[in-house]
């Protein structure tokens, strides 16, 4: 379990599946503007990050970027962000996924070389067997003549 899950555990206990976890002061749904002005902006200042103009959207983008840098594939990031399709995730974050063309090319070349070596060995074995059979046939023909 991660740190955030542990922090939220006491707030989640006793709540129904459909109950809101983060609410407005009067208990209703938390509106984006209300959340940013009353909770988020003061927390950013308290954390000493006011000069960075941090927004929830920037935090979301940072989380996605960090996940990609940590090796998450496009489907993991898609799920994490709640994107309907991987296309949306790739359109937004595709530039952050490492270019693995060289790596894939090298692996393909290595595999191709192994397969060619196996095929060559089989061919040489078959040629040797064919030569031996031809020699045996020639010897039988000489004996018959």
9 and 72 in a common domain: yes
Q: What is the DSSP letter of 27?
A: S
Residue 138 above 90 pLDDT?
no
| pTM score over 0.85 | no
List the structure tokens of 79: 């799920």
60 and 12 in a common domain: yes
CA distance 38 to 93: 31
Query: Which structural domain, as residue segments, surrounds residue 40?
Result: 3-96
34 and 71 in a common domain: yes
Residues of 40-78 as b/e, b for ≥16 C-beta within 10 angstroms?
beeebeeeeeeeeebeeeeeeeeebeebbeeebebeebb
Residue 145 above 80 pLDDT?
no
What phi-psi label fits residue 13: left (phi over 0), alpha (psi between -120 and 50 degrees) or beta?
A: beta
Question: Please, what is the average pLDDT of the chain?
Answer: 90
Residues of 112-130 as b/e, b for ≥16 C-beta within 10 angstroms?
eeeeeeeeeeeeeeeeeee
84 and 16 in a common domain: yes
74 and 36 in a common domain: yes
| Counted domains in the chain | 2
55 and 119 in a common domain: no
Going by C-alpha positions, the residue among 54, 60, 53 that lies closest to residue 92 is 60
113 and 83 in a common domain: no
Mean pLDDT of the 104-125 span: 94
Per-residue pLDDT reduced to its tens digit, 43-65 = 999 999 999 999 999 999 999 99
3-state secondary structure of 23: strand
């Amino acid at each position: 379990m991660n740190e955030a899950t542990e922090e939220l555990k006491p707030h989640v206990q006793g709540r129904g599946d459909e109950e809101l976890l983060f609410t407005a002061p009067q208990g209703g749904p938390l509106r984006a503007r209300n959340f940013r002005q009353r909770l988020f902006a003061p927390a950013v200042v308290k954390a000493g990050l006011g000069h960075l103009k941090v927004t929830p959207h920037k935090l979301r983008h940072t989380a996605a970027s960090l996940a990609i840098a940590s090796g998450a594939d496009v489907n993991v990031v898609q799920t994490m962000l709640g994107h309907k399709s991987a296309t949306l995730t790739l359109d937004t974050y595709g530039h952050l996924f490492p270019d693995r063309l060289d790596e894939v090319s090298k692996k393909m070349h290595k595999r191709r070389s192994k397969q060619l070596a196996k095929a060559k060995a089989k061919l040489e074995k078959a040629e040797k067997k064919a030569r031996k059979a031809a020699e045996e046939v020639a010897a039988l023909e000489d004996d018959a003549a």
